[in-house]
Amino acid sequence: MSNKLTLSASDRINALLDDASFVEIGAYVKARNTDFNIQDKDTPKDGVITGYGVINGNLVYVYSQDAKVLGGSVGEMHAKKIAKIYDMAMKMGAPVIGMIDCAGLRLQEATDALNAFGEVYGKQVMASGVIPQITAVFGACGGGASLVPSLSDFTFMTKEGAKLFVNSPNALAENNITKLDTSAAEYVSENTANVDGVFETEEELLGMIRALVEVLPSCNLDDKEASANDNPNRIIPNLDSYKNDPRAVIQNIADDSLVLEMKKEYAGDVVTALIRMDGITVGCVGNQEDTITTAGAYKAEEFVDFCDAFNIPVLTLVNVTGFAATVEEEKTISKALAKLTNAYADATVPKVTVVMDKAYGTAYTVMNSKAIGADMVYAWPDAVIGTMDPEMAVKIMYEDELAAADDKLAFIKEKKAEYVAALSGAASAASRGYIDDIIEPDATRKRVIAAIQMLLSKEEMRPYKKHSTI
């Protein structure tokens, strides 16, 4: 049985899809295995409902595990039904949505179930970058089943009842679930990159998936645009007051203020979100804090990779001074930053960057600067772009003069102004071609939209290679 009172497997499908649009496939499939204690048990649909339907007119393929049938465990035919859905979805170029409530691998079927489970992994890998994959976890999702959401593009969980884990909390050394529930939705969403959102109810979760399908392309060849009611030339007064809050900037520049933020509870230094701008789906990355962490770099890298795979333009909002500096971060941050740099530099989709305030050193370079391939880079008038904080640079360059100055504060102020004007201001960066234009903050929406529209027909040739090794 399911570990909580909730919607049934079929109810979830009906709540997700448009009314009366679901068509079931494989309704008469049952378990083939008759060994051990399974021969006396009925296995309708082998514990998973599979088929297709539409969400706001968009074709999608779905599977929903039924915890009432052997705990929703994955057997041979169960896995083969899911694999078939993937085959059909890739042929048609449509998303796959999986709804998980699973006791794990069906032990009675042993290697037959194990092999079939592996086939599902293989289908997910083949589908990656071809069609969107969305997973919703409503009940248990442990052991081998936990790879399914990790191989997906987006994963959502319900706050109560959903469990996501490789090893159960009680199997971890010196831990007990009453001490720390490492499988709980809140823990997983805050401490890992495995979950994009947690919801109070199943209905809210399913509503999020419907909204996501509405903005995502159906496949990597789909040029999805929607009609927009929002004025593309809308002026946004006082937008510069949010220079330290890209989340607020994203909401203000989005069509109808609709924002689908991903992994909000994880790596708070970086915000990643999908929005529409004049009907065009755009992926947004922004610096929510002054410094980039390892987790933030990986979060942004994964998001940019997804956008590039599905031809979604990327907008980067920059306000960054450096990297997180701790002993633990030093062990991992270099590789994470290399991954982020590779994601931006390797992406061939339209890439627009807006420097809102500070853009210092290598931290700015890796945030989709002109140097690594941004197509258009804008800066707000008061933006500061350089190797480091201008005041710190002055103190280093004029160490002897500063020591001898009678009025040290006045000396620093004077030299800082000279340094900004010559080397660190937006105008200085623009004069060197590192910034394409200095724009007023209130015009950000219309300027970004104009740039993206101009770049939609972009084609970029790259050296032949199977894939990057970074």
Whichever domain contains 141, its CATH number is 3.90.226.10
pLDDT value at 215 more than 90: yes
Amino acid letter, 304: V
| pLDDT tens, residue by residue, 105-146 | 877 788 888 898 899 999 999 999 999 999 999 999 999 899
Q: How confident is the model at residue 228 (pLDDT cuts 50, 70, 90)?
A: confident
pLDDT value at 5 more than 70: no
Q: What is the pLDDT of residue 1?
A: 34
Q: How confident is the model at residue 39 (pLDDT cuts 50, 70, 90)?
A: low
The arithmetic mean of pLDDT across residues 33-40, rounded, is: 58
pTM, entire model? 0.92
| pLDDT tens, residue by residue, 152-195 | 999 999 999 999 999 999 999 989 998 999 999 999 999 999 99
| Non-local CB neighbours of 166 within 8 Å, separated by 6+ positions | 142, 143, 146
Q: What is the pLDDT of residue 422?
A: 62
Number of domains in the chain: 2
Residue that finishes a domain, picked among 182, 215, 248: 215
Range of lowest pLDDT (44-58, 187-201, 304-318, 389-403): 389-403
77 & 43 share domain:
yes
Helix (H) or strand (E) run with residue 291 in it: strand 291-292
198 & 253 share domain:
no
299 & 177 share domain:
no
34 & 76 share domain:
yes
| pLDDT tens, residue by residue, 243-271 | 999 999 999 999 999 999 999 999 999 99
> Coil, strand, or helix at residue 161?
coil
190 & 279 share domain:
no
| 164 token code pair | 């996501």
41 & 150 share domain:
yes
| pLDDT tens, residue by residue, 422-440 | 666 788 899 999 999 999 9
Q: What is the pLDDT of residue 113?
A: 84
Query: Is residue 418 situated within a structural domain?
Result: no
- Residue 314 pairs in a beta bridge with 283, 351
Please count the CA atoms within 13 angstroms of the CA of 347 that sit on its side-chain side. Answer: 34
Q: How confident is the model at residue 354 (pLDDT cuts 50, 70, 90)?
A: very high
Query: Is residue 320 situated within a structural domain?
Result: yes
Query: Is residue 114 situated within a structural domain?
Result: yes
Q: What is the pLDDT of residue 34?
A: 55
33 & 176 share domain:
yes
Q: How confident is the model at residue 31 (pLDDT cuts 50, 70, 90)?
A: confident
Q: What is the pLDDT of residue 4?
A: 47
149 & 244 share domain:
no
Q: How confident is the model at residue 324 (pLDDT cuts 50, 70, 90)?
A: very high
183 & 124 share domain:
yes
Query: Is residue 81 situated within a structural domain?
Result: yes
**Alpha helix segments (H runs only) across 130-274:** 147-150, 185-191, 202-215, 246-253
CB 389 within 8 A of CB 321: yes
CA distances (Å), 143 to each of 70, 102, 115, 258, 400, in order?
16, 10, 15, 36, 63
Average model confidence (pLDDT) for the chain?
92
Query: Is residue 405 situated within a structural domain?
Result: no
Q: What is the pLDDT of residue 91?
A: 97
Residue that finishes a domain, picked among 215, 249, 271: 215
Amino acid letter, 183: S
Segments forming the whole domain that contains residue 267: 239-383+425-455
Range of lowest pLDDT (13-22, 113-122, 372-381): 113-122
211 & 253 share domain:
no
251 & 142 share domain:
no
pLDDT value at 462 more than 90: no
Query: Is residue 403 situated within a structural domain?
Result: no
Q: What are phi and psi of 319, to 5 degrees?
A: -155, 85
Range of lowest pLDDT (93-107, 397-411, 441-455): 397-411
Q: What is the pLDDT of residue 37?
A: 57
Query: Is residue 323 situated within a structural domain?
Result: yes
Query: Is residue 404 situated within a structural domain?
Result: no
The arithmetic mean of pLDDT across residues 272-301, rounded, is: 97
Q: Directed axis angle between helix 202-215 and helix 9-16, to 10°?
A: 40
pLDDT value at 304 more than 50: yes
142 & 205 share domain:
yes
